[in-house]
Amino acid sequence: MKLFGRILFLVLFIFLLTNHVYAQILITEVMANPLEDENLNEYIEIYNNGTQNINVSDWFIGDNTDNDTIEGGLYKGSGTIIPSKSYALITDDMTRVYNNFNTSSDTIRLYIDDSSIGSYGLSNTAYYIYLRNSTGNLIDSFNYSSTTEGLSWTRVGNNWIEEQPTPGNNGTISAETIENNLCNWQIKITSDKSFYENNSEVEWEVEAYKLEGTKANISVTGYIKKTNGDITKEYHPWTNTTITSKRTRTYSPNLENNIYLLEYNITHLSCNDTDLSNNYFSKLIVIGSQQSSPEQDIIQNTTYSVLKITELLPNPEGDDTKSEWLELYNSGNINLDLKGLKLKDNSNRNIIISDVNTEGSTIINSNSYKIIHTGSIFGFLNNEGLEEISLYYENSLITKVSYSDSKEGDSWSLLEDNWQLGIPSPNSENINNNSGKISIFTIEKIYDLGRYNMSKFGQTIRAKVNIWKGDDTKNSISLWVEDKKGHRVSKHSKTSIFTKYINYDLALPIQIYPNCNENYEDGNYTLNIGWTSGYEIKDSYKFNIKGISNDVCVGENRPKQESAKRFIYALLSSPKEIEPNKKFETKVKLTNNDNKMHKIEIWSYVYRGSKSYSGEREENKKLLTIPKNNEIIETLKNEVKAAKPGDYKLRIMIIKDNQKTPYILTEDISIIDSSKETTENKTLSTKLTGKATSPITEEPLESERTSLQPRTQPGLIYESTSSKSNKLIPYIVIFTSIILNAILIKQIHLNKNKSF
């Protein structure tokens, strides 16, 4: 029995070892909610974390209700072999991922045998994704409950986070590695004062110090700038210098009398800084300023008392460093020069008003407004928590205001002695924020419509839309066309509008589906517009669609029937499974509703890749003549002489009246092992009606398909070690079973001999 246990252990070990090779393939990134068209820009990234190359041909990616077969060779000839420590992207066959994302050039480019991943594409809400190998074994899976537009779910060690998309680039960094390399470093300028009577007094100190983490290599760059932005001096106090906790450097340059902006920035750290806001520090200094007498201070301060802070924008949409501002109002009767006045926040950071941070000049006219930009001091106006902003002349307080928290895109505005969050109104009287907060969508008209307000399937139309963006945090809008039942018949046309309280006039294109399989009827349709998130309809526009645009289906998805339905091709039956060396039949109905006779060439063959397995492709070709207003049911016979069991394709080719481009019907078919019990053929049947009930696809002949790389199955070009191991498993199991049976028989004989 001990020997039996060892053999059983050996079998299990071989099985687990083979599956371990496959288990090195990981799902590492999922882009389910791209900013661009979701039909064309969704992707799943997988990573080969093992030491061997792995071939993922005929693997499956899918969800709870559907799965798609992974293939290669469509986009720039990329195959299905993923080298060790390499990435691959899985997309649909019409992808624009490689156009709209910065992907690594060595990323393996895979695609699926469908127009969307999973059932209907990757969901923006709760979703489950699984990856299985060609035998159906689960390799990896991932589920999420929500998505953020423009961000992808990215694997970090064993954790998943939403980050900016990095298809083919992100890697699998362990959480422990990230945590061990976290740090927080800060740069700061300190000086005794900001006003200097002469340049001999000028001196300041730059300090770089660690708040969290361990020692790091650090680089810092500094500038002295004039008010027009010209650089007077440039400093590099530390370049890739190892600093344990703190380092300082003192400067006392010889400068002319003027106003200068001092800027210092941490440009490099050898660790992952958790707070980039303190990597930059700036300070204004004034050289040549004469200190005024106490009497002058009182007079000047009385003059400045007419100044009031009337509006603040702490949390603008986009980059805060470029767009934060506050507004001052001069209620007096004389113009005032604000140069040299100081703004101070709750953290004692200062902004000295100068030509650098004001628009036009530092003069604020009587009964007028002036905007002061805070971009040189990052985070001067806090987005969260309590903040207090004070305005000083020298050390005398002129006015101050406090607020708590803010909302992106909204400003704090003073209106009739009350502060409220709402629509920004820089350099003008504040408005009542109870109006204008609701976004308004209007489809004004559709261009490119013909007579009777009518379009065609396959046509790209343009919609003129007007959008007032109110108090909404959503940025992406979508337009799409629906039928009466709410079924979408176009791609989602998307664009983004970021700034609140702005009126947008746009002309956006919408691609109507070609309807090559005539799934949609001519008639009334509706163009809808709304936010991409949730696709809630905000406005609609009725119009008609009739007919199909010329050439949209040539060689790809030609309609089932010609215009006016004069000629119809319908697949009536075809087997799902066949055996080698046994003939099988395929029935096709040809209906001629035309008032003239038509000549037809029709033939069929079984193929996989570029090879026919039922003899010559035109071996069973028939030449038919179909009288006017008549129909026939034609039977085509094929026989596969020799082929390995597996999945193949059955193709029926139809040429009418010597046309150059044939109609093509394609069905899945499986070749089974004739040595096993024959399974009953599963037949696809349809009622004999006047309409075709099987999708018909018109494709170019194989010789004309120059844009696609031909698949090489079943001829084998390369086979990975893991694939070879998988094929050996049945033989190993059979061999082990034989040995085990022999041992058991021998053991039985030994026991009998002992009994005698």
CA 18 centroid distance within chain: 34
- Cβ neighbours of residue 331 closer than 8 Å, sequence gap 6 or more: 306, 307, 308, 367
- Taking residues 733-737, report their average pLDDT: 63
Max avg pLDDT among 625-634, 678-687, 743-752 = 625-634
Which H or E run contains 599?
Answer: strand 598-608
| pLDDT given at position 252 | 92
Between residues 431 and 307, which one has the greater pLDDT? 307
Alpha carbon distances (Å) from 357 to 376, 424, 711: 8, 19, 63
| pLDDT given at position 635 | 93
For residues 411 and 313, is the Cβ–Cβ distance under 8 A? yes
| pLDDT given at position 433 | 61
**φ, ψ for residue 392 (rounded to 5)?**
-120, 145
Peptide bond connecting 316 to the previous residue in cis, omega within 30 degrees of 0? no
DSSP assignment letter at 711: P
Q: Residue with structure tokens 């194989």?
A: 702
Per-residue confidence band for 366, with pLDDT thresholds at 50, 70 and 90: confident
Between residues 716 and 477, which one has the greater pLDDT? 477
The 10 Å CB-count burial string (b at 16+, else e) for 460-479 is ebbbebebebbbeeebbbbb
| pLDDT given at position 136 | 78
Query: CA torsion 397→401→405→409, rounded to 10°?
Result: -110
| pLDDT given at position 681 | 41
| pLDDT given at position 756 | 47
- Taking residues 375-387, report their average pLDDT: 77
The answer, yes or no, to whether residue 715 has pLDDT greater than 60, is: no
Per-residue confidence band for 300, with pLDDT thresholds at 50, 70 and 90: very low
- Cβ neighbours of residue 419 closer than 8 Å, sequence gap 6 or more: 401, 403, 412, 413
Sign of CA dihedral 484, 486, 487, 491: positive
Lowest mean pLDDT among 16-20, 166-170, 240-244, 642-646: 16-20
| pLDDT given at position 279 | 83
Q: Which domains does the chain have, with CATH numbers?
A: 22-178 (2.60.40.1260), 181-287 (2.60.40.1930), 294-422 (2.60.40), 440-548 (2.60.40.10), 563-704 (2.60.40.10)
For residues 388 and 345, is the Cβ–Cβ distance under 8 A? yes
The answer, yes or no, to whether residue 5 has pLDDT greater than 60, is: no
| pLDDT given at position 435 | 61
The answer, yes or no, to whether residue 298 has pLDDT greater than 60, is: no
Per-residue confidence band for 382, with pLDDT thresholds at 50, 70 and 90: confident
- Taking residues 341-358, report their average pLDDT: 86
581-624 per-position pLDDT tens digit: 899 999 998 888 877 888 999 999 998 877 889 999 899 999 99
428-453 per-position pLDDT tens digit: 888 766 567 788 899 999 987 866 67
Lowest mean pLDDT among 314-318, 392-396, 467-471: 314-318
44-81 per-position pLDDT tens digit: 999 888 888 898 888 888 876 677 888 886 555 568 88
Between residues 738 and 352, which one has the greater pLDDT? 352
The answer, yes or no, to whether residue 683 has pLDDT greater than 50, is: no
For residues 548 and 698, is the Cβ–Cβ distance under 8 A? no
C-alpha 202/C-alpha 124 separation (Å) is: 58
- Cβ neighbours of residue 360 closer than 8 Å, sequence gap 6 or more: none
- Taking residues 313-339, report their average pLDDT: 82
C-alpha 81/C-alpha 479 separation (Å) is: 39
Considering the entire predicted model, what is its pTM? 0.31
- Taking residues 481-500, report their average pLDDT: 87
Lowest mean pLDDT among 34-48, 306-320, 436-450, 703-717: 703-717
Per-residue confidence band for 16, with pLDDT thresholds at 50, 70 and 90: very low
C-alpha 494/C-alpha 533 separation (Å) is: 11
Which H or E run contains 250?
Answer: strand 246-251
Task: For the chain, give the mean pLDDT.
Answer: 77
| pLDDT given at position 441 | 93
Share of the chain above pLDDT 70, in %: 75
CB-count exposure of residue 724 (10 Å: 0-12, 13-18, 19+): exposed
> Can you give 88-138 as a three-state secondary structure string?
EEEECCCCCHHHHCCCCCCCEEEEECCCCCCCCCCCCEEEEEEEECCCCCE
| pLDDT given at position 562 | 37
Per-residue confidence band for 177, with pLDDT thresholds at 50, 70 and 90: low
| pLDDT given at position 265 | 86
Estimate the crossing angle of helix 2-22 against helix 721-755, to 10 degrees.
Answer: 170
User: Which tokens in the block code for residue 195?
Assistant: 């006003």
- Taking residues 710-731, report their average pLDDT: 42
Beta strand pairing call for 454-457 and 537-548: parallel
Beta strand pairing call for 460-469 and 440-447: antiparallel
Cα–Cα nearest to 492, from 541, 534, 532, 464? 532
User: Which tokens in the block code for residue 690?
Assistant: 């006047």
The answer, yes or no, to whether residue 276 has pLDDT greater than 90, is: no
CB atoms within 10 A of CB 21: 19
Please report the DSSP string for 436-500 in residue order.
Answer: S-S-EEEEEEEES-BTTTEEEETPEEEEEEEEEE-S----EEEEEEE-TTS-B-BPPEEEE--SS
C-alpha 359/C-alpha 370 separation (Å) is: 8
